Amino acid sequence: MMCLVIACFATLMLVRTECAAPRLRQGVALQLPDSRESDAEPIKPIGTLSELFDAYGGLKSFSATFREKKHMSVLLRPLASEGQVNYDAATKSFSQHVDKPFPYTLVLLPEYVGKLEDGSWSAFEGEIHLMVRQVLDSFLKLLEGDREGMMKLYAAKFSTDAIDSTRWTVTLVPRNEPLSRVLSRVTISGRGREIIDMEVREASGDRRIMTFSNVKIDKAYSAKERLRFFPKPK
């Protein structure tokens, strides 16, 4: 059961370990919500953990494309995947759409946690439901600016780049079981309010690295976009 939880994460953050052999089918990439942000606004340096959570307080949305590599001790080469993540603060909804090497969608809604694959839904229940929420909280609590919620689950260490003061790194170590049984630590790096990458080290020694691009924040989702990016089982 714990292996399934680990396989469900990616930030972030999902590559199923039973799919080490490539599957020859690809999904159709979803178009990220349009956002026309000004490039003229300077990036504000973030110097402390409190400032980092304050910077994300009031965040309306987060969307990005991602590339992930999963390094496993049982494989000679890392597993690669790519797709898109979306977060909507208004509805507290998160989704991860994996396009390659095979398509599926993970959704984390207030009332539902599950996966859509090949047109069929699989709900996460019981301990798996709880674990998926807690693992994803390493990412979502940051986007929500919820420092108190994050500190209940993780001990955090914050640092800034010695050369570029706008770049920061936060390392999260699980405080208690059952989370500490599956995760060793999570390291998230960014620049200003933009998250650049995230590394997840599992208790087993396996690790995954997710790199984000085309990051867009504070774009309000329309009703149509919410249906597209945050699907629900019928």
Query: Tell me, what CATH number does 135's domain have?
Result: 2.50.20.10
For residue 39, being part of any structural domain is answered with no
For residue 192, being part of any structural domain is answered with yes
pLDDT per position as a tens digit, 172-186:
999 988 888 888 999
- pLDDT score for 75: 87
For residue 23, being part of any structural domain is answered with no
For residue 112, being part of any structural domain is answered with yes
Rg (CA), the chain: 17
**Residue 50 tokens, joined:** 């409190």
What is the CA 130 to chain-centroid distance, rounded? 16
Q: What is the rounded CA–CA span in Å between residue 62 and residue 85?
A: 8
Contact 10, 96 (CB under 8 A): yes
Number of domain units in the chain: 1
For residue 191, being part of any structural domain is answered with yes
pTM of the model: 0.78
- pLDDT score for 166: 92
- The residue range of the domain holding 117 is 2-14+45-229
Per-residue pLDDT of the chain (234 residues; tens, 9 = 90+): 333 333 344 333 433 433 333 343 344 445 555 444 445 478 888 999 999 999 888 889 999 999 999 999 888 899 999 999 999 998 989 999 999 999 999 999 988 889 999 999 999 887 777 777 777 777 888 888 899 989 998 999 999 999 998 999 999 999 988 888 888 999 999 999 899 999 999 999 999 999 999 999 988 888 899 999 999 887
- pLDDT score for 3: 36
For residue 98, being part of any structural domain is answered with yes
- pLDDT score for 126: 74
- pLDDT score for 38: 42
Computed over every residue of the chain, the mean pLDDT equals 82
For residue 97, being part of any structural domain is answered with yes
Q: Is the peptide bond before 178 cis (omega within 30 degrees of 0)?
A: yes
- pLDDT score for 128: 77
Contact 81, 12 (CB under 8 A): no
For residue 25, being part of any structural domain is answered with no
